[in-house]
Amino acid sequence: MKQIALAALAAFIAIALLALAAGAFGHSPSAVLAILFEGSVGSSFAVRETIIKSIPLLLTGLCVVIAFRAGVWNIGAEGQFIVGGLAAMLAARYGVAASFLAAAIAGALWASIASLMRLWRGAPEVLTTILLNFIAIHLLGWCVNGPLREASGRYPQTDLAMATLPRLGGVHFGSVLALIAAIVSWWMLYRTTEGLRLRATGFNPAAAKFAGINVAAQIVRAMAYSGALAGLAGGIELLGVTHRLFERFASGYGYAGIAVALLAQLHPIAAIAAALFFGALSSGAGELQRSANISATIATFGQAVVLLAVVAFTSRWRKRDA
Amino acid sequence: MLLLDHVTRRFGSLVAVDDVTFAIDPGEIVGLVGENGAGKSTLMRIAAGETSADAGTIRTRSIGFVHQHFALVPRFTIAENLALRRRFGLVSKKRIERLAEETIAASGIELTRVDRLAADLSVGEKAKLELIKAIATKPELLVLDEPTSVLTPIESAELFGVIRRLAATGTAIVFISHKVPEVLAIAQRIVVMRRGRIVEDRMAGGRTAEDIARAMLNLSDSHAGELTRRAGAPAATQTLLHLDNLTLRASEIVAIIGVSGNGQSAIVEAIHALHLEGAAFIPEDRTRDALVAEMTIAENLALGAPRWNRSEAGTAAVELIRRYGIRARGPNQLAAELSGGNQQKVVLARALERNPEIIIASEPTRGLDIESTRFVHERLRDAAANGAAILLTTSDLDEAFALSDRVHVIYRGELSASLTPEEAERQAGALMAGIA
Amino acid sequence: MKRTVILLGLLLAAALACSPAAEQPQPAQTTPEKKPLKVGLLTPGSINDDGWNAIAWEGLQRVKSELGAEISHQETKTPAEFQEGFRSYGARGFDLAFGHGFEFQDAALAAGKEHPNTIFITTSGNSVAANVSPMVFELEKATYLLGIIAARESKTGKAGLVGGIKLPSIEGTFTAFKAGAQSVNPNFVVTAVYTGNFDDAAAARLATLSLINAGADFILHQANEAGRGVFQACTERKVRCFGSNKNQNDLAPDVIVASAVLDVPAAFLRMATLVRDKQFKPQIQYLGINEKIVSVIWNDRLKGTLKPGTVAEVEKVEKQIREGTVKVPRGF
């Protein structure tokens, strides 16, 4: 609880620093704050845009939460997001449900490459997941330039997906799915046998082993859950927002998920707030550019400051080291 | 010369060194013996200024310290490793190699070809290099921490020669070991430590390995009264596990005793690797291997259970906290916040409540007070009475003799034949010192 | 810990208090008497890239300085941001919003439906709606003319083409070049090589050398930054070549005969002018020679070395293209 309060404080401080930094470059800090507010939650339009951006952030954030909770350093949400999008595209002709199922399975399988390499050859998943990101990006590039290129052949992008997510009040249905995913993740982690074992494996694999938990199998399953969430994020983004694939389909949602998970202190419910925060920051930064011509770098800056503040204020890692 | 005067050092609640005063004469060779964790290394590290003391006075002497683990840079040559202790100056390969050869010659230790990489040296050569490094500073006192643990007998004999020559030139030597025979062979005076205190400090002449081992392990009759011996071995029943010459049968407690580090944990690991259904473990290192500090008591009690339901587990935890007398605020208190004894009760409760066929208990009472120790013993006896096969590895011999039906002594990874507790009590000292 | 929290809270409060909340930004409804044109731009990357995005920003600046327009820009990375940007411009009553790339088409169509009073224009693309159009640059009209120059001046009857990535727009310029050359000499041979990217100048140089070794004595590139390698190879081997996209005549003044120039900022200005004058019609906005967006610029130093009649011939065909009597194939 205290950790969450500290994370919230870190977020506030980051916003204040962001305004002050803008002040240092000749903009009025209060005006900057006003625009950030206006552009993120100041109108129903802004709220909708913030929510739409938060959906993939929440899902990739949950992906990272689950993996890190199990002590598996999955940095590969970006790649799992991409293969999820690819699978959803291919399965779209069979409908939305089939598309999401395919996306989740593809993400899980892609992530499993890393966990199996860890178990078989001891390859650290921090490395393998990042390398798998590059492979996924190039796989996508090849697909949209080659076999999946639009029928007219004109641009390196696919045709429109054959399924679309329904919308609810201007926001696609993925918002509901992402919320459900957060609640299910929480329930799984804190209310099921699987979650108990997963957390024990993450906190103390030696103790988990002596208590009779199959740590290796647990790691493989955690990585699969994690990858499934990122894959689902890709599928939802495809059918809800982009409706087609092109080379920059993922554009950093996977990495932003790490920021969401850390700000949320690896708690699935807190991840909802963290995703909304980063979504709002991004919308607010867009408005800052549009109406005050302040560079987009400010959003990146804000994200970095939040992370630094979170790491500085929370003692989770310090305690583990002692 | 006085080294340490009434020195105390605590690590949390553990008193590693308890009000110790230690002196040594120039040219004297002192054997410092004791169980692992008795405080030998800590004591000498305080003397060398490598760690601080909480109380007492430390006389600063120049000390050369050869650590148990090699402190060599593997990708550096012998010459470069020796050059590391120099502070400033430009480095030329030729110059440091010439200096290295001079240093080695001065030490009286034979080590050739200083351009070889440390990584390529044999273990014995690495030990020699460490020794040369330590001697090169011309210390008043040289401390050797378990120097023979990785050496062959011939290498050990060579090392002893070097030690004797050094002592003859006036260097005081502290030889830390838990191998009694070699301490007897080299030391003029033997200091025995147990639980942070010096319990014996006598000249080596006329002592036997067996009585030193007894002093190390507190193998006297003074504590026997605290433990009541198991009444009557059960009738031989079903064999549940057979591993080399170790056999576990239902309703029977088998103890493995020995100086720790002789292979007890390897046996526990081997049994764990069998993935036996119905086996429960009480690991030796509570905080590292048994409990998840960041999780609650209720969650720790449920770890490894086939099914977990939070509210049922909470109710069950309340009942276990009561039955095992765990002093806690409630089932949702974090395991990290419990005292060692209460943590052990959580581990015990988890292991016993699933009615396992086999229980592997490693040092189940280490660090516990008398009350908690008695409680753990009673629960283990109850479990055996209810049909469980129990394997107990312990360095507390009184515990082993009081609880077990049969005893094996372990020395350098080898298990002795199965002994009755009475036989074991007579032969243990000799078997554990490896002189039987 | 508690003290730190309080301290930081105070710091935050101070930061907020120091800045008077009164001076909020006033979006431009302040001058009702003469409503300025409002133009927004979305770029897929940073406008400091010295390339694709920078040139769009330059176009926006031209719109501001020449039409007195109120301008706004956003760097957008994700489709969610494309839509957010377009919708935001629509909601705030912008007259015109540019999306600089084909990837903005879907977002333009979606926002166009919701905001009928704003015109959405994408750079490249083929999606058209009542208030949505793509700008398509007809660089191929200039490369057709370059093809004529090559065929008239070549001694070997062979020319080489060096492309970056095999995109339809690039293939189109090559197709037109070949058509132009073969309008002069039906047996003229044109060989195209793609290096696979737009920044490896060394690869472009090697590709150029191989074309020269195979007999080509005129080279046209469509390799953006990597074009430098083409000019290096041509200078080394004294083989004539053409500049592309920008006026590159000064980059290798001894070998570049002419450049096919595309004036992107002028295209932005032209579209903004159409919208201001209520002349905008929803259609694919082909911008080429007629609109003075695309042109052939001669290198005056080499103009005199050409065969007599070449310059006149090129000017004649250019006029015919403008009048529509000569059709340049689009290739896609």
**Per-residue model confidence as pLDDT tens digits over B304-348:** 888 899 999 999 999 999 999 888 889 999 998 887 778 889 999
Whether chain A lies against chain C with 3 or more Cβ pairs closer than 8 A is: yes
Name residue, tokens 């790339």: C101
Residues C316, C244 within the same domain: yes
Residues C78, C151 within the same domain: no
Residues C85, C187 within the same domain: no
Residues C122, C179 within the same domain: no
> Is B189 part of any domain?
yes
> Is B265 part of any domain?
yes
CATH number, residue B269? 3.40.50.300
Q: What is the mean pLDDT of residues B292-311?
A: 91
Q: What's the pLDDT at B342?
A: 86
- In which residue ranges of chain A is pLDDT below 50? 317-322
> Is C252 part of any domain?
yes
B58: pLDDT strictly greater than 70: yes
**Per-residue model confidence as pLDDT tens digits over C31-55:** 444 678 999 999 988 888 777 888 9
Residues C108, C234 within the same domain: no
What domain range includes position B338? 291-355
CB contact under 8 A, C124 and A282: no
**CB-closest option in C25, C81, C168 to A31:** C25
Domains and CATH numbers, chain A: 2-321 (1.10.3470)
Among A3, A192, A196, A320, the residue to mutate for chain B (most B Cβ within 10 A): A196
pLDDT band of residue B81 (cuts 50, 70, 90) is confident
Spell out which residues of chain A touch residue C8, defining contact as CB-CB under 8 Å.
Answer: 9, 13
- The CA distance from A63 to the nearest CA of chain B, in Å, is 21
Give the bridge partners for C137, in sequence order. Answer: C287
Distances (CA, A) of C273 to A264, C200, C261, C265: 50, 38, 21, 12
Residues B315, B390 within the same domain: no
Closest residue in chain C to residue A16, using alpha carbons only: C12
How many domains are contained in chain B?
3
Residues C73, C166 within the same domain: no
Residues C50, C118 within the same domain: yes
> Is B283 part of any domain?
no
Q: What's the pLDDT at C1?
A: 43
pLDDT band of residue B88 (cuts 50, 70, 90) is low
Residues C81, C216 within the same domain: no
CA–CA separation, C69 and A248 (whole Å): 32
Closest residue in chain C to residue A55, using alpha carbons only: C80
pLDDT band of residue C213 (cuts 50, 70, 90) is very high
Q: Which chains touch B (3 or more CB pairs under 8 A)?
A: A
Give B425's contacts (C-beta < 8 A, 6+ positions apart): B397, B401
Among B303, B332, B343, the residue to mutate for chain A (most A Cβ within 10 A): B303
CA–CA separation, B319 and B336 (whole Å): 20
Q: Among the three residues B336, B355, B374, which one is the final residue of a domain in this structure?
A: B355
> Is C330 part of any domain?
no
**Per-residue model confidence as pLDDT tens digits over B196-225:** 888 888 888 878 877 787 777 765 443 433
Q: In terms of Cα–Cα distance, which of C217, C223, C183, C181 is closest to C202?
A: C223
CA–CA separation, A164 and A167 (whole Å): 9
Residues B386, B344 within the same domain: no
Residues C254, C275 within the same domain: no
B26: three-class secondary structure by DSSP: coil
Q: What is the mean pLDDT of residues B167-173?
A: 90
Residues C190, C307 within the same domain: yes
pLDDT over 70 percentage in chain B: 88
User: Which amino acid, residue A310?
Assistant: V
Residues C120, C94 within the same domain: yes
Radius of gyration of chain C (CA): 24
- E-assigned strands of B216-291? 239-243, 246-249, 253-257, 279-282
Q: What is the mean pLDDT of residues B111-126?
A: 82
ipTM entry: 0.84
CATH number, residue C108? 3.40.50.2300
A164-169: Cβ within 8 A, 24+ apart: A164/A96, A164/A239, A164/A240, A164/A243, A165/A96, A165/A236, A165/A239, A165/A240, A169/A48
Q: What's the pLDDT at A1?
A: 64
Q: What's the pLDDT at B235?
A: 47
Q: SS in 3 state form for C258-316? A: EEEEECHHHHHHHHHHHHHCCCCCCCCEEECCCCCCEEEEECHHHHCCCCCCHHHHHHH
pLDDT band of residue C21 (cuts 50, 70, 90) is very low
> Is C20 part of any domain?
no
Q: Which chains touch C (3 or more CB pairs under 8 A)?
A: A
Q: What is the mean pLDDT of residues B240-254?
A: 82
Most confident range, picked from B73-82, B282-291, C316-325: C316-325
Residues C108, C145 within the same domain: no
Contact C221, C204 (CB under 8 A): yes
Spell out which residues of chain A touch residue B308, defining contact as CB-CB under 8 Å.
Answer: 192-193, 196
> Is C55 part of any domain?
yes
CB contact under 8 A, A212 and B290: no
Q: What's the pLDDT at C27?
A: 46
> Is C17 part of any domain?
no
C9: pLDDT strictly greater than 50: no
Closest residue in chain B to residue A317, using alpha carbons only: B294
Residues B20, B134 within the same domain: yes
Residues B273, B263 within the same domain: yes
C-beta neighbour count of A220 within 10 angstroms: 18
CB contact under 8 A, B283 and A213: no
pLDDT band of residue C28 (cuts 50, 70, 90) is very low
Residues B382, B337 within the same domain: no
> Is C4 part of any domain?
no
- The CA distance from A229 to the nearest CA of chain C, in Å, is 19
B292 lies within 8 A of chain A by CB? yes
Contact C43, A260 (CB under 8 A): no
B125: pLDDT strictly greater than 60: yes
**CB-closest option in A16, A56, A237 to C15:** A16
Residues B119, B29 within the same domain: yes
What domain range includes position C93? 38-137+266-287
Whether chain C lies against chain B with 3 or more Cβ pairs closer than 8 A is: no
Instruction: State the angle between helix axes of A44-69 and A215-237 in degrees (0 to 180), rounded to the nearest 10.
Output: 160
Q: What is the mean pLDDT of residues B29-58?
A: 83
Spell out which residues of chain A touch residue C115, defining contact as CB-CB under 8 Å.
Answer: none
CB contact under 8 A, A207 and B283: yes
> Is C219 part of any domain?
yes
Instruction: State the angle between helix axes of A77-91 and A215-237 in degrees (0 to 180), rounded to the nearest 10.
Output: 60
